[in-house]
A and B are shown apart, each in its own frame.
Chain A
Amino acid sequence: MKIIVPVKRVVDYNVKVRVKADQSGVELANIKMSMNPFDEISVEEAIKLKEAGVATEIIAVSIGVTQCQETLRTALAMGADRAILVETSAEVQPLAVAKLLKAICEKESPQLVILGKQAIDDDSNQTGQMLAALMNWPQATFASKVSVDAGIAEVMREIDGGMETIEIKLPAIITADLRLNTPRYATLPNIMKAKKKPMDVTTPEALGVDITPRLKTLKVVEPPKRKGGVIVADVAALVDKLKNEAKVI
């Protein structure tokens, strides 16, 4: 069975993000970019399923600028078999991503699509759910444990207040949460091999998908600066502040 793993190129998690002077977004010029950490977890999970003999082929898919090829090479170096880049320099919002992934799923007929639960740049947490709806496939979001047997995936999910285990029929969508696994380091021989693995480049037009944004960003601002803390006299003063100043209780 085939697994599709979408990977997004995002600002590296170590980078301190700065807002552009014109408030149109965050500064991306000369910033270190890496694979979205949740997507690394999905790649790792797909590789584990392949190593366990469940999956036969892993296809990494990225959507965005030419440099997304580097992100795809990282997925190939970790162990994906081939890659597809949907190249575009336009803004791609979650619905458009889901539509593009749908077009690819229809071509490739995977049994599983494992996505990161969200990307650390916009934190949308929508693509997996939208793709499931568009494909009319079952979904298991926020996975922290996955096992696949006889066309059924058993997924332990992180939910408010605990864990929930569900079964879903394949083909299906799974989104990875933080505790699903620890992504491996790419090995030197695999980095060398990744260069020779196939990478197809296509476009939204070629896939027949309209990616025109539906949402408009008005402005992006930095969060307010953290103010210094105060030491309160007693518990009563603390409760008073929480009630009347912070208004949280």
Chain B
Amino acid sequence: MSEYNAPLKDINFLLEHVIGLEEIARLPGCEEVTPDLVSAIFEEAGKFSKEVLAPINRSGDLEGAKISNNVVTTPKGFKEAYWKYVEGGWSQLEAPVAFGGQGLPHIVATPVSEMLGSANMAFKLCPLLTLGAIAALDEHASADVKNKFIPSMAAGKWTGTMNLTEPQAGSDLALVRSKAILQADGSYKISGQKIFITYGEHDYTENIIHLVLARIEGAPDGVKGISLFVVPKFLVNADGSLGARNDVKCVSIEHKMGIHGSPTCVMVYGDAGGATGYVVGEPNRGIEYMFVMMNAARLGVGLEGVSISERAYQHALVWARERVQGRPVTPVPASFGPSPKSVPIIYHPDVKRMLLTMRAYAEATRALTYYTSACLDIAERSIDEKQKRTNQALVELLIPIVKGWSTEIGIEVTSLGIQVHGGMGFIEETGAAQYYRDARISAIYEGTTGIQANDLVGRKVGREGGQTALALIAEMEKLPALLLAMNDVNLKAVAAQLTTSIASAKRATDWIATMFPNNPAAVFAGAVHYLKLMGTVTGGWMMARAALAAATQIKAGDGDGDYLKAKIMTTRFYADHILTMAPSFANAVIQGADSVLQMEEALF
């Protein structure tokens, strides 16, 4: 069994010295968000993740969720862990204050969610989906519906799900066919089949609240005819007690590559005449409502890339320190004796390179995800209209990058994690393989990397002539001078690579802004390269900001010397080994369209 230790030093350092917790604490409703409070919250969340969730990660993977007669059983220990999660009050973290939640900002919730996901990704999905459902209801539902469902969901008594996908409607939700028929009492009868429903059925709680996309009879075709419904597993009486079993059931669960502990359900609505549902907000605006909460959901999935990278890194690091193999080519501690025949593999340069790659990516995606969380908090809560607008634009730009890039990085880092283990990594018992299998889904659900990239180059960059992206680039361009002013050899090297990579980002952004209005196909052909370019550069920018803060602390004689030194060295590595890829990505964006577009379908 592998241990998980929450990276609290990095988390607290980012919040206090890079992201700027004070700015968040000035937002309405965030007055309590002080460094001592958040570090106490992170400390306890880290302990909970390590001691309760991590120990059942591998057993959950081996056992998997099971179904029999429409009843789903989660792996051993998951239900108990869920109730410990609820007793710990963690379900209330982000939930609205009006319904019994703590209403804490994203910048506090994101690190907590990261830790839960590192410890046990399959477990974490249930709370994540519940939070998403609460947010959707809170934003759009009538007071009646809110009061009926949100308090019990915020208290963890009931969980929530998202029912979007149907067999014929995956990335293209315009094809949704589930039906809703209006009843005399204002409710609807829902029927249809939904697939890929995470925690659509489970044994944790007495009730499950499904949010379902369906078409009201006679609604227009396409996305403008889809409405959002809330469909509880058990109907809820006026006094809050549970009523009749609703006409919804789980008919099977998927056999998946990873996240085995999380039941992925095929849900059937209306087999016996129709499931009772209540429309959320106005009819025919379901897709629009989904979009509103898409940012938070995509941020949450992007974060899974961070979580799984961190866990894979910790696992590989332990192995690299224990596994003794091969004569060293670099100086090793005297304790190995004179000219040792073999040393722990961490002393071999290529193994160090792999570990540094894993670490640098985990830290960069973490910093970028936290930064985006802070922007989202400001966009949601600021009372300064201009600040709100600027941050909202930034969030819109960064979300597809966080989601697409971090999850692709999650795959790369977990793959490297296996590589560090050599042949043992390919053996399931070692545990490294699970992270790779678990990581794979994050780049697919909640919009594939391709969907994220198209959103980025189309809606976010192309349509506005690159305005927000260029503003961010201008902001990033200010950093190299500050790095140079520190007069440090490592920061100097970082500044040089950062300058080159920002220029690449600018070159590609300018090209997209020019090309998109007349030739969007050429832009879409290289969209994923652009997404990776922007992830690489913004991630490098965040790393460099952290390195600058670290160097400033060292100069002042503050902080934990080893941590700060490692931050600077990791940033230097990121600059030399990762930022150097930026020009190649930019070239692929700008020159790569022809080969894609000219290859005819018949030639494949």
Q: Do A and B bind each other?
A: yes
Which residues on A are within 8 Å of B, measured CB to CB?
Answer: 14, 30, 70, 73-74, 77, 185-192, 194-195
State how many angstroms separate the Cβ of A227 from the closest Cβ of chain B.
14
Neighbouring B residues of A185 by C-beta, 8 Å = 44, 47-48, 52, 84, 87-88
Partner of B87, one of A14, A187, A192, A194: A187
Q: What distance in Å separates the Cβ of A126 from its nearest Cβ neighbour in chain B?
A: 29
Since A188-B90, A189-B92 are in contact, a sample of 4 more A-B pairs with Cβ atoms closer than 8 Å, ordered by chain A residue number, is A185-B48, A188-B92, A191-B44, A195-B32
Instruction: Please name all residues of chain A whose beta carbon is closer than 8 Å to the beta carbon of B559 when the two chains form the complex.
Output: 30
> Considering only CB atoms, which chain A residue lies closest to B112 in the complex?
A188
Chain B contact surface mostly: helix
The count of chain B contact residues (Cβ–Cβ below 8 Å) is 24
Q: Give 13 A-B contacts (CB < 8 Å), ordered by A residue.
A: A30-B560, A30-B561, A185-B47, A185-B48, A185-B88, A187-B87, A187-B88, A188-B41, A189-B89, A189-B92, A189-B102, A195-B32, A195-B34
Cross-chain contact A191 with B48 (CB below 8 angstroms) = no
Min CB–CB distance B121 → chain A (angstroms): 21
Asked if residues B563 and A187 are in contact (CB atoms below 8 Å), the reply is no
Chain B residues with Cβ under 8 A from A190's Cβ?
Answer: 89
Complex partner residue of B40 from A14, A30, A77, A189, CB under 8 angstroms? A77
Q: Which of B89-108 contact A (CB under 8 A)?
A: 89-90, 92-93, 102
Known contacts A30-B560, A30-B562, A187-B89; A192/B37 CB under 8 A: yes
Bound CA span A187–B102, Å:
12
Bound CA span A191–B32, Å: 12
Q: Does B36 contact A (CB under 8 A)?
A: yes
Main SS at interface, chain A: helix
Q: Say yes or no: A70 contacts B44, CB within 8 Å.
A: no
Q: Does the CB pair A74–B48 fall under 8 Å?
A: no
Give the residues in chain B near A189, CB-CB below 8 Å: 89, 92, 102
Question: Known contacts A185-B88, A188-B93; is A195 also within 8 Å of B563 by CB?
Answer: no
Question: By the criterion CB–CB under 8 Å, are A70 and B563 in contact?
Answer: no
CA–CA, A30 to B563, complex, Å? Answer: 9
> How long is the Cα–Cα vector from A192 to B87 in the complex, in angstroms?
15
Residues of A within 8 A of B40 (CB): 70, 73-74, 77, 186, 191, 194
A188-B89 in contact given A30-B560, A30-B563 (Cβ < 8 Å): yes
Q: Do B37 and A77 have beta carbons less than 8 Å apart? A: no
Residues of A within 8 A of B34 (CB): 195
Contacts of B36 in A (CB 8 A): 70, 73, 195
Kindly list chain B residues whose C-beta atoms are within 8 Å of the C-beta of A14: 5
A105 CB to nearest chain B CB (Å): 28
Bound state CA distance, A190 and B5, in angstroms? 23
Q: Which residue of A lies closest to B43 (CB)?
A: A74
Q: Interface of B with A (CB < 8 Å)? A: 5, 32, 34, 36-37, 40-41, 44, 47-48, 52, 84, 87-90, 92-93, 102, 559-563
Question: Once the chains are docked, how many angstroms separate the CA of A20 from the CA of B559?
Answer: 19
User: By the criterion CB–CB under 8 Å, are A192 and B32 in contact?
Assistant: yes
For the complex, what is the distance from the CA of A153 to the CA of B52, rounded to whole Å?
34
Check B88 against A188 for contact (C-beta < 8 Å): yes
Residue of chain B at shortest CB distance from A78 = B44
Could you tell me the distance between the alpha carbons of A192 and B47 in the complex, rounded to whole angstroms?
17
Residue of B nearest to A14 (CB): B5
Minimum-distance CB pairs A-B, first 8: A188-B89, A30-B560, A187-B89, A189-B89, A187-B88, A186-B44, A191-B40, A185-B88
Q: How far is the CA of A185 from the CA of B87 in the complex (A)?
A: 9
Q: How long is the Cα–Cα vector from A5 to B559 in the complex, in angstroms?
A: 31
The residue in B41, B52, B559 that gathers the most chain A C-beta atoms within 10 A of its C-beta is B41
Residues of A within 8 Å of B562, CB to CB, are: 30
The CA of A77 and the CA of B102, in the complex, are separated in Å by: 15
Residue pair B102, A188 in contact (C-beta under 8 Å): yes
Residues of chain B lying within 8 A (CB to CB) of residue A194: 40
Q: Which of B40, B41, B47, B90 has the most CB of A within 10 A?
A: B40
> Contacts of B89 on A, CB cut-off 8 Å?
187-190
A73 to B, closest residue via Cβ: B40
Contact residues in A for B102 (Cβ distance below 8 Å): 188-189, 192
Beta-carbon nearest neighbor of B86 in chain A: A187
Q: How far is the CA of A194 from the CA of B84 in the complex (A)?
A: 20
Q: Looking at A70, A185, A189, A190, which has the most chain B CB atoms within 10 Å of its CB?
A: A185
Chain B residues within an 8 Å CB radius of A30: 559-563
Most B CB within 10 A of own CB, among A73, A188, A191:
A188
Distance in Å from the Cβ of B560 to the closest Cβ of chain A?
4
Judge whether B561 and A77 touch: CB under 8 Å: no
Give Cα A192–Cα B34 distance, bound, in whole angstroms. Answer: 11
Shortest Cβ distance from residue B318 to the other chain A in the assembled complex, whole angstroms: 14
Residues of B within 8 A of A77 (CB): 40, 44
| Smallest beta-carbon distance A224→chain B, Å | 15
CA distance in complex: A186, B41 (Å):
9
B586 vs chain A, min Cβ distance (A)? 41
Within 8 Å CB of A70, what residues of B? 36, 40
Contacts of A73 in B (CB 8 A): 36, 40
CB distance from A40 to the nearest CB of B (A): 11
What's the minimum C-beta distance from B404 to chain A, rounded to whole angstroms?
31
Least Cβ–Cβ distance between A12 and chain B, in angstroms = 10
Complex Cα distance, B41 from A190, in Å, reads 10
Tell me, in angstroms, the Cα distance from A73 to B89 when the chains sit together: 18
| Min C-beta distance of A188 to chain B, whole Å | 4
Please measure, in the bound complex, the distance between the C-alpha atom of A189 and the C-alpha atom of B102, giving whole angstroms.
Answer: 8
Q: Determine which of A186, A187, A191 lies in contact with B37 in the assembled complex, contact meaning CB atoms within 8 Å.
A: A191
**A residues in contact with B90, CB < 8 Å:** 188
Closest residue of A by beta carbon distance from B100? A189
Q: How far is the CA of A30 from the CA of B36 in the complex (A)?
A: 17
What residue of chain A has the Cβ atom nearest to residue B91's Cβ? A188
Which residues of A sit under 8 angstroms from B84, Cβ to Cβ?
185
Taken together as a complex, chains A and B put the C-alpha atoms of A187 and B84 apart, in Å, by: 10
| A65 nearest CB across to chain B (Å) | 15
Chain A residues within 8 Å of B48, by CB: 185
Rounded to whole angstroms, the CA-CA distance of A70 and B40 in the bound complex is: 8
Closest to B563 in A: A30
Shortest beta-carbon distance, B508 to chain A, in Å? 42
Q: Nearest-CB distance from A108 to chain B (Å)?
A: 25
In the complex, which residues of chain B have a beta carbon less than 8 angstroms from the beta carbon of A192? 32, 37, 102
Give Cα A191–Cα B92 distance, bound, in whole angstroms: 13
* Chain B residue contacts of A188, Cβ below 8 A: 41, 44, 88-90, 92-93, 102
- How far does the alpha carbon of A190 sit from the alpha carbon of B32 in the complex, in Å? 14
A70 to B561, CA, bound (A): 22
Nearest Cβ in chain A — how far from B585, in angstroms?
38
User: Are A191 and B41 interface neighbours, CB within 8 A?
Assistant: yes
Nearest Cβ distance between residue B554 and chain A, in whole angstroms? 12
Q: How far is the CB of A15 from chain B (nearest CB, A)?
A: 11
Bound-complex Cα distance A74 to B34 (A): 16
Query: In the complex, what residues of A have CB within 8 A of residue B88's CB?
Result: 185-188
Tell me, in angstroms, the Cα distance from A194 to B39 when the chains sit together: 13
Query: How far apart sit A185 and B52, CA to CA, in the bound complex (Å)?
Result: 10
